[in-house]
Chain A
Amino acid sequence: MKKAIIIGLAVTAFVALLISKQVTGNKDAPEMHIAEVEQGNIADSILASGNLVFNTQVQLRSEVTGRVAKVFVEEGESVTEGDILMRLDTTAFESEVARNKAVLRATEIDIKHSETRLKNIERQLSRQKELYEVGLAGQEVYENLQNARDLAKIDIEAKREAYNQAQASLLIAEDRLNKSVFRAPMSGLLASVNIKEGETVIAGTTNIIGSDLMLVADPSAILAELRVDETDIAGIKLDQHADIYAAAYPNQPFTGKVINIGTSAKNQAGSQGLSFKVKVLLDATDRQLYAGMSCRAEIATSIAENGLKLPIEAIQKEDDSYFVWKLNADNTVTKTAVTVGISSDIEQALTSGVVKGDRIVIGPARPLSSLKEGDTIAVKNSPEKGAN
């Protein structure tokens, strides 16, 4: 009897196990997110980072070497064209001018001396000529004098050239004296002043760049100099719209337009990739911006205006064709082939296959990938991001 109960219980348990394990198929349809096909604009964009610079800026460097005697301006000061900014110690330059003036005068005197000598020789020559013609003087003396006169003429010519040379040297010395005084090359803001009184400035030569003295900039127009990766450069065109996010205003972009695209790739320090320099002129703004700030930019490379679009996760790919799962009125899904246009990071433009208002399954990804034609799904509400 006891055994019969045990056997009965075991059979019951086995039957219960079989019932519990029974395969019932898709009794609960997978819950899926739905998005409607919408009409709107899509901007495909390229991201790049860079720095802000002034549109017009002049870096002052020295052409002469010398000690700074006086700096008349401070960083941040506004200057107008021609203002004296700083002056080098001019003692050496002034004495150079004085020396060259003296040399010039000495050559002048030399010329006068030679001219006087020439007159004297010519006088002797005319006297000797008369004596020679009447036979009172020898031919040799006469010809010697003729020779001496020619030499004196050449001597004067040489002295005149020495005079010109001295004059040129004087001009150079005067120019160097002038260049020891630095004037503002344009009106604007002194963006930086990197020199102090008493320091020595070095003139630039072939291999050595001259000392940085000052940066004069026009603060009314600011550029973003962006480093655009070589893989993205093909999409960048002049006049494209760009949103610039300066580090100081991370959430309020400045707007601007591409005004210049670099023509050769530069190796970026610290990275293997090559990048192009792209300049974006920022539109006028009330917010304060400073040159040298780092920034990042989104350059809109192509815009699909007023087209049909879907969240990008809705688009499925099979071999080389694209399709979406369209939700029918009875909650079954139909595989619908579509052709795709441009895409942004989150949205995909569609050029055919769907109409505005179609309901499309967008996720979650795992059940989405295993959907089959005619499957029934349950619509799950409020995906965090819809098709807007």
Chain B
Amino acid sequence: MKSSNVMTALVDIFISPSKAFNGLKEAKGWSFVAFILLAGILAASMFAFYNKADPQFLIDQQVAAASVDATIAEQKMIRQSMEQTIDMQVWFAIFGGIIGLAVINALMAGYYLFVSKQDPEANYGYGAWYGFGVWTMMPMIISSLGLLILVLTASTDQISQTLFNYASINQLLIGLEIGHPFYTLLESLNIFSIWGIFIAAIGLKSWTNFTFNKALLFAALPSIVIYGIWTVIALV
């Protein structure tokens, strides 16, 4: 079973990812559509956020986050530098986010290419794996749509940047305060990235002859390594 066109693939990636990946094998061009859609929704949610948020409130939040141990004079300096750049932040967020996606996906594509060599029958090129990577990031569309809805329904302009991580493990389950060693780690780990790992596992299984467990291990390995190192750093 495979998706027949890019539109069905964009739905299938969420409800039955293996169909989407089967279709993708023969139609690599779909990935462009997926990337543009992803980038567009990401940009729309960022724009909506910065357009609505009270800049002064954002500065207050960021100064508080950046200056947990700072003196009053240092806080003042941080505040001044932020006030100069606050108008630019929306563009940093949009283009930084899209370029960041492209760069991270480039690394992931290399990684997928490397692990696919474990299966002698799988011979997809780097470009194919790059497209594969884009599809594994599709849960970010849901995440960005959620953010967009939260921003548009907010009844105040006092919205904080922690809203970006509304689906993080920290905000959903743990609730650590800012400044805690594990705060940033748990804020960045969210249910959409976990969903992405499962999609990648299903995709790997579909494109190679790996068992599901092996595919899941390979899909999760980068996150396990990154968060493992992060945990060690946070503990030290």
Chain A complexes with chain B? yes
Contact of B159 among A17, A18, A23, A26 (CB under 8 A): A23
Chain A hits for B172, CB < 8 A: 17
Contact with B along A363-388 (1 / 0, CB 8 A): 00000001000000000000000000
Roughly how many angstroms separate A3 CA and B171 CA in the complex, as a whole number? 28
Q: Which residue of A lies closest to B157 (CB)?
A: A25
Q: Does B60 count as interface, using CB distance less than 8 angstroms?
A: yes
Interface residue range, chain B: 10 to 19
Contact of A18 among B15, B149, B158, B171 (CB under 8 A): B149
Interface residues of B in 148-176 (CB under 8 A from A): 149-150, 153-156, 158-159, 163, 166-167, 171-172
Q: Does A24 count as interface, using CB distance less than 8 angstroms?
A: yes
Q: Which residue of B lies closest to A13 (CB)?
A: B191
Contact of A26 among B154, B156, B171 (CB under 8 A): B156
CB atoms of A25 and B163 under 8 A apart: no
Interface residues of A in 230-251 (CB under 8 A from B): none
Shortest distance from the beta carbon of A30 to any chain B beta carbon, whole Å = 13
Q: Does A21 count as interface, using CB distance less than 8 angstroms?
A: yes
Chain B hits for A21, CB < 8 A: 150, 163, 166, 171
Contact of A23 among B15, B142, B163 (CB under 8 A): B163
CB atoms of B154 and A25 under 8 A apart: yes
Q: Which residue of B lies closest to A23 (CB)?
A: B154
Shortest distance from the beta carbon of B164 to any chain A beta carbon, whole Å = 11
CB atoms of A7 and B155 under 8 A apart: no
CB atoms of A18 and B156 under 8 A apart: no
CB atoms of A22 and B153 under 8 A apart: yes
CB atoms of B150 and A22 under 8 A apart: yes
Roughly how many angstroms separate A22 CA and B147 CA in the complex, as a whole number? 10
Q: Does A322 count as interface, using CB distance less than 8 angstroms?
A: no
Asked whether A23 and B149 contact (CB < 8 A) given A7-B15, A17-B167, A370-B60, the answer is: no
Asked whether A26 and B146 contact (CB < 8 A) given A3-B15, A3-B16, A21-B163, the answer is: no
CB atoms of B155 and A25 under 8 A apart: yes
Shortest distance from the beta carbon of B206 to any chain A beta carbon, whole Å = 17
Chain B hits for A3, CB < 8 A: 15-16
Chain A hits for B149, CB < 8 A: 18
Chain A hits for B166, CB < 8 A: 17-18, 21
Roughly how many angstroms separate A18 CA and B153 CA in the complex, as a whole number? 10
Residues of A in contact, count (CB < 8 Å): 12
Q: Which residue of A lies closest to B151 (CB)?
A: A23
Q: Does A72 count as interface, using CB distance less than 8 angstroms?
A: no
Chain A hits for B154, CB < 8 A: 22-25
Shortest distance from the beta carbon of A181 to any chain B beta carbon, whole Å = 71
Is the contact region of chain A dominated by helix, strand, or loop, or is it mixed? loop
Q: Which residue of A lies closest to B156 (CB)?
A: A25
Interface residues of A in 1-55 (CB under 8 A from B): 3, 7, 14, 17-18, 21-26
CB atoms of A14 and B142 under 8 A apart: yes
Roughly how many angstroms separate A3 CA and B12 CA in the complex, as a whole number? 12
Asked whether A26 and B158 contact (CB < 8 A) given A14-B146, A17-B166, A21-B166, the answer is: yes
Q: Which residue of A lies closest to B160 (CB)?
A: A23
Chain B hits for A370, CB < 8 A: 60
Roughly how many angstroms separate A26 CA and B167 CA in the complex, as a whole number? 22
Chain A hits for B155, CB < 8 A: 23-25
Roughly how many angstroms separate A314 CA and B110 CA in the complex, as a whole number? 61
Chain A hits for B150, CB < 8 A: 18, 21-23
Shortest distance from the beta carbon of A205 to any chain B beta carbon, whole Å = 58
Q: Which residue of B lies closest to A4 (CB)?
A: B15
Roughly how many angstroms separate A7 CA and B17 CA in the complex, as a whole number? 13
Roughly how many angstroms separate A21 CA and B191 CA in the complex, as a whole number? 15
Chain A hits for B16, CB < 8 A: 3
Roughly how many angstroms separate A23 CA and B154 CA in the complex, as a whole number? 5
CB atoms of B156 and A23 under 8 A apart: yes
Shortest distance from the beta carbon of A6 to any chain B beta carbon, whole Å = 9
Roughly how many angstroms separate A370 CA and B160 CA in the complex, as a whole number? 15
Shortest distance from the beta carbon of B221 to any chain A beta carbon, whole Å = 25
Roughly how many angstroms separate A17 CA and B143 CA in the complex, as a whole number? 11
Contact with A along B116-159 (1 / 0, CB 8 A): 00000000000000000000000000100010011001111011
Chain A hits for B156, CB < 8 A: 23-26
Q: Which residue of B lies closest to A24 (CB)?
A: B155
Chain A hits for B142, CB < 8 A: 14
Q: Which residue of B lies closest to A21 (CB)?
A: B166
Q: Which residue of B lies closest to A370 (CB)?
A: B60
Q: Which residue of A lies closest to B142 (CB)?
A: A14
The 9 closest A-B pairs by CB, nearest first: A25-B156, A23-B154, A21-B166, A25-B155, A23-B159, A24-B155, A18-B146, A18-B149, A7-B15
25 contacts across the A-B interface (CB closer than 8 A) = A3-B15, A7-B15, A14-B142, A17-B146, A17-B167, A17-B172, A18-B146, A18-B149, A21-B150, A21-B163, A21-B171, A22-B150, A22-B154, A23-B150, A23-B153, A23-B154, A23-B155, A23-B158, A23-B163, A24-B155, A25-B154, A25-B156, A26-B156, A26-B158, A370-B60
Query: Which chain A residues have a beta carbon within 8 Å of chain B's beta carbons?
Result: 3, 7, 14, 17-18, 21-26, 370
Query: Which chain B residues have a beta carbon within 8 Å of chain A's beta carbons?
Result: 15-16, 60, 142, 146, 149-150, 153-156, 158-159, 163, 166-167, 171-172
A14-B142, A21-B171, A370-B60 provided; 16 other pairs, C-beta below 8 A?
Answer: A17-B167, A18-B150, A18-B166, A21-B150, A21-B166, A23-B150, A23-B153, A23-B156, A23-B158, A23-B163, A24-B154, A24-B156, A25-B154, A25-B155, A25-B156, A26-B156
